[in-house]
Amino acid sequence: MQSGSRSRRSDLDEEELCQTDVSGKVRKEFQSAEFGDKRLTDRLMQVGDRLGRAPAESIPNACEDWASAKATYRFCDNERVDPNEILGAHKRAQRSRVRDKNKLLVVSDTTELVFPRHPSKEGLGDIGNSKTDLEGVKVHTTIGLDPQTHHMTGIIDQQSLIEDQQASTKHDVNGKSEPIELGSEQEKWIRGDRQASGWLAEEVRPIFIHDRGADSFAFYREVTDDLDAGFVVRANQNRCIQTPSGTDGRLIDWSEEIPEQGRTSIEIEQGSGRAAREAELTVKAGSCELLPPQNDPTHTEPVAVNVVRIDEVREQDDPIQWVLLTTESVAEFSDSLSVVESYRARWTIEDWHKVLKTGCRIEERRLETWERMEVLLSVYSVIAWKVLELRELARGDIHRSPEALLSETERSILETKFPELTDNEAQAYAIAVAKVGGYLDRSSDPPPGWETMWKGLKKVQTWAEGYELHS
């Protein structure tokens, strides 16, 4: 069942991430924040602009002058500034982006933010095992993905988990509210999913896409009974099941014997500098019932699930093997492929983690307390989402209104320079921005890369700033 290979190509280049400028593109995500003082909301938008100008730079360098840097530090230290409200404003902006959809893929995952141990730092927990001298925070984030494009719609929930290994406790610092203790490792998954389910409009059905860490009977029971939602989860346990024939069996063993629906191929990005490869996969599908654990008296009824199993053909070194449990239909081969693609989409959150750590260098921030750091984390989390969104723009395959990515002045300048911009899709504007950066747009040319895209964006932003100053 183990596979270290990634099922999707990632083109997040470290140098390119560090050069990304999203100033002016996160402002509207923060404009509805309520801190009881409009000046703090204005300050948040200014902080987002300044840090978004150069996400990888230190705060003084990004702010360009000491007065602005000092104002940013004071904002993070203000007791009225709650990181939950910063993300709450972003969630309100995001809700308008997903309200016309009938479903939303909801993906969660955990990453560790590790900071050098220092006596001046406060509020951090233990990272790793008891023998390592590391401290930091585990951040469990829940994001939305468009079900058609698999592009990230934004952040839905974020839990900052602090662990005290000596006391055997773990809690969510919960912004500046009272910490919430976690009873189990699985609790973080269902908490994020509850938040998503309660946040979405009633007509939008969430489908939770999770890796093996979420594989628990309690999770399946709650999602099917209480949340009116679906799920696609990679199995981690060879759990007891009842087969369609009415006999008892084991999930992974039984899944090997279910009928093959067909075969498909996917491109695999491999670690350790190995070249990507094309993987041929068998796709099997069936249905069974998960039996409740014998050591858990709180659950007595089985959970009916559909199962998709994929196995790589002819690969001897670390072949792909997934057993996916789902509420979604697997009646047709196309249905099963859709389940596989939904699971593959979860890699977007790992790309977002990379942007947060590499593009925004969140682990290099030197604020002394976690309360201050959590404010900064919430701002950089939104900036990282916007950086990832602009990567899709650079690819030229994002199908949405250009208003989401370019200001009115920037669009007007592009429309003047390129009169052929008559449609209202971001792809055409992306190509126009790339042309400004030197992209030739010949039929034989590949999609524009990061460097070309950012050259173009910088020029367009400079022209827009000049126009606005003199108008």
For residue range 280-324, list pLDDT tens digits in order.
999 999 999 999 988 877 888 999 999 999 999 976 677 889 999
Q: How far is CA 270 from the centre of its chain?
A: 21
- Tell me what pLDDT residue 74 has: 96
Name the CATH superfamily for 84-355: Transposase Inhibitor Protein From Tn5; Chain A, domain 1 (3.90.350.10)
Where do the domains of the chain lie? 14-83+365-393, 84-355, 397-470
User: What are the residues facing 210 on neighbouring strands?
Assistant: 233
Ranked by mean pLDDT, the top range of 19-33, 49-63, 76-90 is 76-90
The CA–CA distances, whole Å, from 259 to 207, 262, 282, 286 equal 25, 9, 10, 7
pLDDT for position 386: 86
Residue keyed to tokens 């390592």? 132
Closest to 379 measured CA to CA, from 140, 63, 27: 27
pLDDT of residue 9: 43
> The domain 397-470 belongs to what CATH superfamily?
Transferase Inhibitor Protein From Tn5; Chain (1.10.740.10)
Q: pLDDT tens digits, residue range 407-444?
A: 788 888 998 999 888 666 777 888 888 888 888 888 77
Q: Which residue has the higher pLDDT, 120 or 27?
A: 27
Q: Is the pLDDT of residue 30 over 80?
A: yes
* CA 65/CA 50 separation, integer angstroms: 11
Contact 182, 162 (CB under 8 A): no
pTM above 0.95, yes or no: no
Reply yes or no on whether the pLDDT at 213 is more than 80: yes
Give the chain's length.
471
pLDDT bracket for residue 381 (50, 70, 90): very high
